[in-house]
Homo-oligomer: A and B are copies of this chain.
């Protein structure tokens, strides 16, 4: 088929997918081509604009290396990553509901983006450990429980925790650095967890690449509010990737990657120096944050 106008061109491109061996691949490509063509027509994309787009995407690819993933950053800043996260959690909730679980999606702790700074293999530390010794920032005591969506405590659940330092810099961003402010911790028999780290700061995503130029063009600041990352996993439950956000942090209402969810915003309580809830004596002012995670049972 030789297309003689724009509608026929879209039809020809879709027709070509009929040879795809994998029906799911064909389905994804069908939707992609339909939206791509509709976008070009809707804005009446001009040849110079098309070329600027080609050059932008090429630069995004060429900015990626083993420490930097500019396409994930692009996806994050367009809200695409967060859309995938939301749909994934919704899908798990629907599965559970079909399996007969009387589950409301809101009962499960909400997920958010993983971001580019996860580092596999953080040290497994004892409950109550300081996971950020020597790291810049004000000390903070984190505690809470991991339960299922009915409130039953989950013993031996694994928390994989990471954050930047008190100035918003991650260990991975420092050339030749080793792991810092990262650990894996397991809950006790009552599903409780507690540990020490620092109170995380807001920070800008990298702006020296093409995504930084795009954000400047949009007129959008490049910052994320202060947050600490957690992956929470327990046998027989859907693993959760989320953050706890610092209530009142700058940019809490305008996270550049759309990661904030109201249910994940946590008050950090200020304390004078003295004896902390775990009995540790702290010589300087410190913060505390409390949060309970609720994991969804896996569908049978």
Contact = CB atoms under 8 A, between A and B. Distances in A.
A41 interface: yes
B219 A21 contact: yes
A79 B37 contact: yes
Contacts of A283: none
A72 B61 CA distance: 13
B39 A32 contact: yes
Contacts of A2: 252-253, 255, 260-262
A12 to B, nearest CB: 6
Contacts of A43: 27-28, 31
Contacts of A59: 61
Interface in A1-41: 1-6, 9-10, 12-13, 16-22, 25-29, 31-33, 35-41
Given A58-B71, A61-B61, A262-B2, A40 B220 contact: no
Given A6-B83, A19-B220, 6 more contacts: A1-B253, A5-B86, A16-B218, A28-B49, A33-B78, A45-B87
